[in-house]
Structure formats: structure tokens, C-alpha cells
Amino acid sequence: MRGRLSVGFDRISRVWADVTNVLSDTIPGVRVVKAFAQEEHEIERFRQANVRNLEVNDRVNKVWSLFSPTVGLMTEIGLLVVWGFGIWLVSNDQITVGVLSAFIAYIGRFYTRLDSMSRIVNITQKAAAGAKRIFDVLDQVSSVPEPTNPAAAAAGEGSHLVARCGLPPWQSPGDPQFEFGHSAGRDDRSGGP
């Protein structure tokens, strides 16, 4: 059960990344999409990513919907067994009703903790899947090879002067204009009209 949940949450993480990738590709480039009339194509891409997301989430939810009630059922059966055995012991005068009540209270607290631990499985499996996804991304080897013998950059020579640059008067009236000069080894900046 734990393995299925772990694999399922890993798949959810990857599918959610696919949905996010579709959005991050489309939203910033919405003008390009509209310029080339690709709205229907992008809508279909997003719909397919969402359908895949729904399918993967449904599979995990089916496993989880079986796991949680099974744990609840087992704890209730355990309490029922303790009650039955305790009543038998009380009827044979081997324990008192007070001892049975105390034992039921203790075992109830134990089962409450067991039930809360089973609910934590959901959170820890999601966290483990997220951490695995992060480590997968960090361990991915770059497709751009590093140069074996990189060439050193040559020292700059010559000079450049950009004069009277600034914002247009309608955007910032009265602001001074700037001059920027650069020569090898020097950086000259001055402000003024």
C-alpha cells in the first residue's frame, strides 16, 4: 500500500509539473499564440494535461480511499475484540468493570494515535514525492556541454561615448540628461544638460 501511494504521489507531482509547464509556456507568450491563431491548440494542450492530472489523481484517491477506511475498520474491530474479551473476563469475575473501563480508555487512546499516524502517511508521501522530484531536477545533467579549454576574454581596447541620453521630456520633464563614456580600463559618467 505504501509503495502504491509513494509511486502515485510521485506521478501526481510530475503531472502537476506538466500542467504548470503548459501554463508557463502559454501565458507569457499569449500574444504569440494569438498572432499565429494557436488558441485552439493551446486549449487542447491544457485540456489534455488536465485530463492526465485527473486520471493520475483518481488512481491515487482510489488507493487512499481504500487505505484510510481499512485502518479505521481495523481499529474498530480491535476495540470490539477488547470489549468482547473484557466482558467475558468481567462475567467470570477475573477483572472489575473499572479495570475494563480503564483498559478501554487506554486502548482507545492508542487507536486514536494509530489513526492519526495513518493520516500522516498521506502528508509524508506527498512530501517524499516532492523531495524526490526536486532531487531528480537537481541531479539532471545539463545538455549544454562545458568547454574543456575555455578561451580567456581579451582586454578591451578603444572607447565609446554615448552623449545626451535620458528620458523623453514628456515622461520626465526637467530631468537632466546623461553622458556615458567608456574607454579601456576607465568608466566615466557625468550628468547634466
Q: Per residue in 95-143, pLDDT tens? A: 999 999 998 999 888 888 877 877 787 778 778 777 887 787 778 777 7
Q: Is position 155 within any domain? A: no
Q: How many helices (H) and strands (E) does the chain have?
A: 4, 3
CATH number (domain holding residue 33) = 1.20.1560.10
Q: Are 119 and 165 found together in one domain?
A: no
Tell me, rounded to whole angstroms, the distance of Cα 159 from its chain centroid: 50
- Cβ-contact 48, 21 below 8 angstroms: no
pLDDT band for 91, please (50, 70, 90 cuts): very high
Claim to verify: residue 64 and residue 129 sit in the same structural domain: yes
Pair 86, 133 in one domain: yes
Strand order in the sheet with 159-165: 159-165, 178-183, 186-191
Residues 24 and 109 in one domain: yes
| Inside any domain, residue 17 | yes
Residue 192 has pLDDT above 50, yes or no: no
Q: Is residue 125 situated within a structural domain?
A: yes
In a domain, 145, yes or no: no
- Total count of domains within the chain: 2
Residues 15 and 60 both lie in one domain: yes
User: Which structural domain, as residue segments, surrounds residue 60?
Assistant: 2-139
Q: HEC string of 84-133?
A: HHHHHHHHCCCCCHHHHHHHHHHHHHHHHHHHHHHHHHHHHHHHHHHHHH
Say if CB 129 and CB 56 are below 8 A apart: no
35 domain-assigned: yes
pLDDT band at 191 (very low <50, low <70, confident <90, very high): very low
Using only C-alpha atoms, what is the Rg of the chain? Answer: 34
Residues 128 and 66 in one domain: yes
Report the interhelical angle of 97-139 vs 39-91 (nearest 10°). Answer: 160
In a domain, 152, yes or no: no
Residue 172 within any structural domain of the chain: yes
pLDDT cut 90: percent of the chain above it: 17
Are 84 and 176 part of one and the same domain?
Answer: no
Mean pLDDT of the residues in the chain: 79
Q: Is the pTM of this model over 0.85?
A: no
Question: 32 vs 21, 25, 46, 50, 72, CA distance in Å?
Answer: 17, 11, 17, 23, 53
Residue 101 has a pLDDT of: 92
Q: Directed axis angle between helix 97-139 and helix 2-26, to 10°? A: 40
CB 15 within 8 A of CB 53: yes
**Residue positions counted in the chain:** 193
Task: Read off the pLDDT of each residue in 45-62 and give the average, rounded to a whole number.
Answer: 90
Instruction: Determine if residue 8 is left, alpha or beta; phi over 0 gives left, psi from -120 to 50 gives alpha, anything else beta.
Output: alpha
Q: Is 5 exposed, middle or buried (0-12, 13-18, 19+ CB in 10 A)?
A: buried
Structural domain includes residue 86: yes
pLDDT band at 37 (very low <50, low <70, confident <90, very high): confident
